Structure 1
Amino acid sequence: MPLTPAHDETKDPVKDEDIPIALQSARGVRTWKEAADWLKIRGVEDIECITPDIAGVPRGKMMPTSKFTSNTSLALPSALYRHTISGEYPEETGDFRYDSRDSDIKLVPDLSTLSIVPWESDPTAQVICDIAGSKGEDVPYTPRNVLKNVLALYRQRGWKPVVAPEIEFYLVAQNDDPDYPLRPPKGRSGRSINGGQAYSIAGVNEFDELIDDIYHFSEKQGLEIDTLIHEEGPAQLEINIRHGDPIELADQVFLFKRTIREAALKHGIFATFMAKPMQGQPGSAMHIHQSVVEINTGRNLFSNLDGTPSPEFFHFIGGMQHYMPKALSMIAPYVNSYRRLTPDMSAPVNNAWGYDNRTTAFRVPVSEPSARRVENRLPSSDANPYLALAASLGCGYLGLVKQLEPTAPSDDTVNDKTIDLPRGLLEAISALESDPDLVEVFSAEFIAIYGGIKRGEFETFMQVISPWEREFLLLNV
């Protein structure tokens, strides 16, 4: 990527070879001095300081770069982490309480995430921020901190998780009336794409220009796409991200969602990460591949030296089987999420595991011993990536430290009529709140806030009368 500053006829242009290597990266710097130079080289005028809220929506502040690099203190109200996806503030229930002072929390920029916002017309940058209290203390209930605290548990044992997310989403025609069902957009052929196009190159080619923009925007931000495919649903795509550190990968998913939406809008269509946007069509998942390595040696903890599966491998799966149904609300966070988790619809409704068995919740792909991993197929794409990774890794961690044993692997189809998971949001929230091990791993404060928000969202949903009710109840009851 050529690095040329904003045009100034009074100065000679800066050549790439004159720019220090540390400042040539598309993503991230180490110090505030490097940040100032990085922004100046690119002629950046404004910077967005963003952080994920409970839903994973970017929140924050925009400011001139001169103000950003002058050690300005950035604050947000703590109530930002207590509102629902619809922007409402639910009633206090259970252990859910509001801060009586609605005190400030601080945005703390993570300079390793500094990158360009490529869809803006004026030179603009973005940086993901952590959240701290007004005196710098830890705030355990914010999503990035929830994940960081789970990783700290691994680090105390000398372990480091490695993850690789796969994100599915739909492209849909623009829709400004929520009473009307969503429909597939028209591709370059002028026709709406049909379902049954899994791995179809022609299906991907229908949206070549949009996908080119996704790749272009991603490259400008230093985001690396491993592969992109067309999935089973009409205009349903999947992006695979190269494996790596959980915080870095959660950051990438957070930014990818924004990037894909912006690229779609540029072409006059919507991109949606709803778990079940279209009736009768497959839902959208965020599958998570997971392994654990020893920090000191880099050895995959899931494999013995002779290449056979280790006891830790089975304990990790045992933890997933035991705890993941109880933590389901963190990976299936909305009423709509449970429409995806239905029998016979290519999404698991069990807590079984198996070798290369896509009907199980936890699949072990075929791999070399050094790459042995467990794929969690339960999360939906509407999940906050930080919380989804925290939930999945937290359950695996509990299996490791408690040495839980899994069931026997499933060889046959297990995605039948039997549902081994909570069937709805309220049931899932109750399961999360009632397990003391999960409360300890994710913090009581987070569980209380998360439960209160989700109950509030459910009550808002219950105020809406659906077409099904009008069709079958209006004249029959």
Structure 2
Amino acid sequence: MEIASHSGASLAEAQAFLERYPDVQAIDIVLTDCHGIGRGKSIRRHELESLYRSGRAMPSSMFGQDVAGDDVDDSGQVLNDGGGDKRCWPLPGTLGMQPHSQRGQVLVSMYNADGTPFSAEPRHALVRQIDKALAAGYRPQGAFELEFYLIDRERDAHGKHQPARYALSHRRSLNRNTMSVDEIDEMSPFFDAVYEGARHLDVPLEALISEYAVGQYELTIRYRDLLRAADDVIIAKRLVRAVARRFGFEACFMAKPFGQQAGSGMHLHLSLADGTGENLFGDRADGTLSPLMLQAIGGIRHTIAETMLILAPHLNSWRRFASVLYSPASDTWGIENRTVALRVPETPGSARHFEHRVAGVDANPYLVAAVTLAGALKGIEDHLDPGPAAEGNSYGNTRAAHLPRSWLDAIDRLDDSEFVRQVLGESLHQGFVAIKRAEWQRLAIDVSEAEWDLYGFVI
């Protein structure tokens, strides 16, 4: 039976895809969980039109799982309502072909039987904040930057993970080569394949640089509608991982895979436009910064302590803050200053916006965008003053006393936050906290090799 799509997807999109790619025999349908991990299944070609006509049933318990896919009983999503399925619908504009695997791919979103959004899904939390912004006359625009490492499958002589060999020459670099164009050339076969995949998947990948560590790179994504910008991250990360496997190495999106090297962030660039598309964060006629943008920054500074678990959701996320190297664990802001949390790039005039630099690349982009936009809207509603801009190197500043000091502290802060509860909704807030507590407990009882090395036979 055909049902009106709750996601707004059109059967014509599926039919156009099948006509354009007559040789594609399978399509991955991807539902993004609380961690930003894609869960779902691969369907056959003849099932695609059915997906668009009547959706696809999948278990809602996927939103009650930890990163390993294990159920967390206290999440409120495990065997809820007898463990029945909810219906997932394809998201418009996300159906594309993966040339590296010759399979299609489409993102899906989960809905209740009555067509209402499933409350524990992170993407719906972002949609609610965008709807709130639209009701106030603002159209959120954004883009993400993704930092990541390419890792060799072969470990070094000490059994440690190491950067991948170059795709072109198969040499191994031991130098940072920050922003080296030759470094990019050495990896060009890999990145050429990534850009080709992005073209088929309609992800507007733009600049590529060699980052501040051996084997670390950064991809930027074109500025556009904030919801689609978050979708872009999900598609781009899956694309980079899949292509890396086919080149014999792995893509690593941990926030801090190497303790002595730079961490990997996921910087969010954000602005608000009016109904005509004009940037409301653009400079005033006299060249001064937009009061609206300053209020938005004030709102994020006001709420950032409560949202740190969203920005740094895993134990490893907090290792990124142990070294302040381009990883601001603060609520500072400034103009063209990369040592602050909220940076206003030197793009004057109508292109003005700000960059939120705290989130790690391991964070869920839907949740990061949701709490960032919510903080910005609160700042505008309450006319919050961001305070003076930071000058010079702010890494040397003592971490603000109101910010969480640890992962567990961040879990407690988010658990107690009425602001985040309202942004996420009761079900997602409860589930996310429960999952993070279970993950903390799982790692708290594990004894690491580092502990053996430091304490094992000397105390």
- Does structure 1 residue 173 correspond to structure 2 residue 132? no
Q: Residues 37 and 208 from structure 1, CA distance in 2 versus in 1: closer, same or farther, beyond 3 angstroms?
A: closer
Mapped contact 1:46–1:62 kept (Cα < 8 A): yes
- After superposition, residues 64-463 of structure 1 pair within 5 angstroms as 64-70=44-50, 71-92=53-74, 99-121=80-102, 124-174=103-153, 180-187=159-166, 188-296=168-276, 298-416=278-396, 418-420=398-400, 421-463=403-445
Q: CA deviation at 1:90?
A: 2.6
Q: CA deviation at 1:174?
A: 0.9
Deviates more, 1:372-381 or 1:295-304: 295-304
State the SS of the aligned residue for 2:89: strand
Q: CA deviation at 1:347?
A: 0.8
Partner Cα separation in structure 2 for residue 85 and residue 435 of structure 1: 23
CA offsets, 1:436-471, max 9 Å, x none? 122112212211110001111111112321122101
Q: What is the percent sequence identity of the aligned residues?
A: 29
Q: Give 5+ residue unaligned stretches, structure 2.
A: 1-7
Q: CA deviation at 1:98?
A: 6.0
Q: CA deviation at 1:176?
A: 8.2
Partner Cα separation in structure 2 for residue 416 and residue 274 of structure 1: 25
Equivalenced residues, count: 445
Deviates more, 1:374-383 or 1:59-68: 59-68
Partner Cα separation in structure 2 for residue 96 and residue 155 of structure 1: 30
CA offsets, 1:292-326, max 9 Å, x none? 11124624245335442222111111111111121
CA offsets, 1:406-449, max 9 Å, x none? 12111121112622332322211211221212211221221111
Q: Residues 49 and 97 from structure 1, CA distance in 2 versus in 1: closer, same or farther, beyond 3 angstroms?
A: closer
Mapped contact 1:292–1:302 kept (Cα < 8 A): no
TM norm structure 2: 0.92
Mapped contact 2:271–2:279 kept (Cα < 8 A): no
State the SS of the aligned residue for 1:101: helix
Partner Cα separation in structure 1 for residue 195 and residue 21 of structure 2: 20
Partner Cα separation in structure 1 for residue 295 and residue 454 of structure 2: 48
Partner Cα separation in structure 2 for residue 414 and residue 252 of structure 1: 31
Mapped contact 1:319–1:396 kept (Cα < 8 A): yes
Mapped contact 2:299–2:375 kept (Cα < 8 A): yes
TM norm structure 1: 0.88
Q: Residues 103 and 302 from structure 1, CA distance in 2 versus in 1: closer, same or farther, beyond 3 angstroms?
A: farther
Partner Cα separation in structure 1 for residue 138 and residue 321 of structure 2: 32
Q: 1:57 aligns with which of 33, 37, 40?
A: 37
Mapped contact 2:296–2:377 kept (Cα < 8 A): yes
Q: Give 5+ residue unaligned stretches, structure 1.
A: 1-28
Q: Residues 284 and 451 from structure 1, CA distance in 2 versus in 1: closer, same or farther, beyond 3 angstroms?
A: same
Q: CA deviation at 1:405?
A: 1.0
What do you get for the CA RMSD once the two structures are aligned?
Answer: 2.1
Match of 1:31 in 2: 10
Mapped contact 2:266–2:360 kept (Cα < 8 A): yes
Q: Residues 430 and 200 from structure 1, CA distance in 2 versus in 1: closer, same or farther, beyond 3 angstroms?
A: same
Q: CA deviation at 1:111?
A: 3.1
Partner Cα separation in structure 1 for residue 380 and residue 395 of structure 2: 26
Match of 2:4 in 1: none
Q: CA deviation at 1:396?
A: 1.4
State the SS of the aligned residue for 1:316: helix
